[in-house]
Chain A
Amino acid sequence: MSSSASVNYLNEFKGIKSWLFTLDHKRIGVMYLFGVMISFLLGGVFAVVIRLELLNPGMDFITADTYNQMFTLHGAVMIFLFIIPAIPAALGNFVLPLMIGAKDVAFPRLNLASWYIYVIGAVFALYSIVAGAVDTGWTFYAPYSTTTSTSVISMTLGAFTLGFSSIFTGVNFIATVHKLRTPGMTWFKMPLMVWALYATAVIQILATPVLGITLVLLILERAFGIGIFDAAMGGDPVLFQHFFWFYSHPAVYIMVLPGMGIISELIATFSQKKIFGYKLIAYSSMAIALISFLVWGHHMFTSGQSELASVVFSFLTFFVGIPSGVKMFNWMATMYKGRIKLDSPMLWAMSFMFLFAIGGFTGIMLGAISIDIHMHDTYFVVAHFHYTMMGGTVIAFFGGLHYWWPKIWGRMYNETLAKISVFLVFIGFNMTFFTQFFLGSQGMPRRYYNYLDKFQPLHAFSSYGSWVLAAGFVLMAYYLIHSLYKGEKAPNNPWGALSLEWQTQSPPVHHNFEGEVVLDHDPYDYDTRMVIDDKLIKK
């Protein structure tokens, strides 16, 4: 059964043009995958440089100005070029139509356009690096961003452009989920990954336009001095923070929600058990999308917003914990008494649950005003959001990448190396970032180039951790690339999963499915069905 020998989306059309002008969601997904992986590499290099500089107090090998640019670029590249598009635009693009039995996304041309816009946005961002990199931090806070001499305009233009790419993906996914589900797939027969992508798309279309207008205003302020963020002219710099966080808090759910979707798939598949509380997980995705719009002011407790606003935002912030908690408990209940298989994707999923729990709890801590006043802008915050963004989203992304890798390329990777890699990443991640909770609670401020001698041992330990982390990713890059050439041919359904994408061949044909899609079971009917040698069998 060597399905790769047959015609598939990778080999049906040949040549670079067949890629650059493709309307196939799978190829566009793969092109996004290249984009986000290159960005991840770039952002990762910046991170290692930052950690290297922080190994000792004083200057090690980059100047303070370069350091400011490094952490700005690390943030901006990782957020705008990697995490936001990574799961929806790369993996989601590939799997969403397959999971609902569709031939493509609703608007294939818009999909391709979103990739080109992504590339253009990346070019703007890269240009800003050459033209005297930005040093404002990825948040571009006024008034510093309107007065610094660095290339803020090209970086904000980049983020603005990338916003459009994200909006286009959102529009496409919502229309696809509404209109292109295969006959028989009702809303509550959709895989939870689809629910998560749908909720993500809702946030993308509601929040991203506000980021767009914010960045336009910032550019106008910088270029023409319109005065709205300038206190000297009767404007208000705190307004910039409102505008920015109205997008950027929901944006953290643009990042983590699809990750949670992946985890729902992985936990069910590798526990071979019907997912516990399907509807609650689906609703909780929508609840997170809604609540995420009500809490942005928790980033501004020390920015001079009114006390009333701080209290309201702090109160509302605690509600985010509920739907996230619902998901965690449902995943655990799914694993309970399941036939758990510890393949590498499942190891990523379990790492996610552990790390995201820490990230979530520390988030609740920071949502309390009394704690946040002290922890604000310290390494505690840095550690918290790395636990959610990296421990959450990035780990989930790699879990998903390992899970769908055989479907995307039709090849298996080396499972032993994969297990070593997830182990290294897990250890390295905790070394790097758990340490930073201690640093932060002892008063180490974030974004500082230099520090007191007493912080040296902890900073050094954190930097050693970043090396372990980097080693894990280098190893992963090795075995994944190796698998493309030398990997074993993948079966259609290597993990025995029940959702539709596994019922077509690996890699899928150009139109996704041969003939009509047959849907005779729910995506998590593991209690009544099983897969043996690619065949779906009723128990």
Chain B
Amino acid sequence: MEHAEHPSYLQHHFADSQQQEETAKLGMWIFLLTEVLLFGGLFAFYAIYRAWHPEMFVEAHKVLDIPMGALNTFVLITSSLTMALSIRAMQVNNKKQTIWLLVATLLLAATFLVIKYFEYSHKFHLGQLPGKYYTYEGITAANPHIFFSIYFTMTGLHGLHVVIGMAVITWVLIRTIKNNFSSEYYTPIEMTGLYWHLVDLIWIFLFPLLYLIG
């Protein structure tokens, strides 16, 4: 059956809502590809310096706080779960549940940032800082400041993505409350979800590379 009347969310240049949704999803995946390559530059940077200074990496990674990092991994995985469930709730038209799950995702994201803040401030305190600001004296291998340059750029860029994610989640939350979505149309939540899972996915790699590998 053709869509006799034009749903309000359907843009004029699409034939039907399925085409619109698939296009949005494709666009989102291409955007995620650009994100992978953006972080990829930093992963390259990590790989190259690790190959050059293996002992320094082993020694420097020990000052990172594994319990804090692990806790943050749990927090972020849980937030990914609540995000995925919020989409599922919208698929079955349970708007109330969607709202609560989005709020939970937001709170978990905030928790992640708070934990990160404690980690950062501890390092600031000890002078475990990037590049020329590095003053810590507990590492004997040469060039330990490079490790912290890598640590701060990688986690900093990731943290920035968490902040952006929170802004986007807030936006879809408001739109959900305003009744913009239904089981027929919830593409923006779905796209936000894809983005949020990618943020989680990148952390899944950052955590072992920075905190665990000795």
Contact = CB atoms under 8 A, between A and B. Distances in A.
Given A214-B41, A228-B146, A175 B30 contact: yes
Interface string B12-56: 111000010011001100110111011111101100110001000
Interface in A214-251: 214, 216-217, 220-221, 224-228, 233-235, 239, 243
B131 interface: yes
A443 B149 CA distance: 41
B93 interface: no
Contact of B130 (A179, A206, A208, A226): A226
A369 B130 CA distance: 38
B41 A217 contact: yes
Interface string B143-164: 1011001101100010000000
A145 B45 CA distance: 19
Contact of A213 (B23, B38, B49, B132): B38
A102 B13 contact: yes
B137 to A, nearest CB: 17
A334 interface: no
Interface residues of A, number: 39
A178 interface: yes
Contacts of A102: 13
A243 B41 CA distance: 8
B136 interface: no
Given A212-B38, A511-B12, A205 B30 contact: yes
Interface in A85-110: 102-104, 106-108, 110
B145 A209 contact: no
A270 to B, nearest CB: 32
A70 B19 CA distance: 49
B133 interface: yes
B1 interface: no
A233 B12 contact: no
A178 B22 CA distance: 10
B144 to A, nearest CB: 9
B34 A226 contact: no
B35 to A, nearest CB: 7
A235 B45 contact: no
B142 interface: yes
A103 B13 contact: yes
A239 B45 contact: yes
B19 A234 contact: no
Interface string A180-210: 1000000000000000000000000110111
A37 interface: no
Contacts of B53: 234
Nearest to A210: B41
Given A103-B12, A175-B26, A228 B34 contact: no
Contacts of B145: 227, 233-234
6 contacts: A108-B13, A171-B31, A174-B30, A178-B23, A179-B22, A220-B153
Given A234-B142, A239-B48, 12 more contacts: A108-B11, A178-B23, A209-B35, A209-B38, A213-B41, A216-B153, A220-B153, A225-B132, A226-B132, A226-B152, A234-B53, A511-B13
